[in-house]
Amino acid sequence: MANLHRLEAPDEILLGSKPVSTPWKVLGNGAKVVKSWKKLVEQCPEDTTLCYKRLSTNPMQRIPLVSFPMKGKNFKGGWEYRVTGNYRVFFQPLPSTKEVVVYYADEHPKKNKYPTPPFA
């Protein structure tokens, strides 16, 4: 887990706000994910604000067509969050530590090229 970095909330990125304590800690799996998250926040501030709020408060809440667990043995533990029609965040909730690991934040991946959870 040495490659995990705290993901900043959209208000921190856009407004320079101070971090706020949340029930779940949101982490990015690697520098590339952190960079793509920041880019996504700049492109879709309202949508990523709602995404971050849901990930940091109740990440395993199913929301039809928005947030749901991935299907298939290769994606065990992984969830998908639809930020917009074109952008997705893939994450893995770790209930024992109250952490959410974001492992993809970018354009919707091509069919059969979905990222796999880091801790399957």
The residues, any chain, with a CB within 8 Å of residue 118's CB and separated by 6 or more, are 29, 92, 101, 103
For 40-60, give the DSSP string.
HHHH-HHHHHHHHHHHHH-TT
The confidence score (pLDDT) of residue 112 equals 78
Nearest CA-CA partner of 104 in 119, 120, 87, 86: 87
pTM for the structure as a whole: 0.95
62 confidence band (pLDDT: 50, 70, 90): very high
- Residue 1 scores a pLDDT above 60: no
What are the structural domains, with CATH classification, of the chain? Answer: 4-107 (3.30.2310.20)
Which whole number is the average pLDDT over 20-30?
A: 96
- H/E stretch holding 108 reads none
- Residue 90 scores a pLDDT above 60: yes
Place of tokens 């039809």: 64
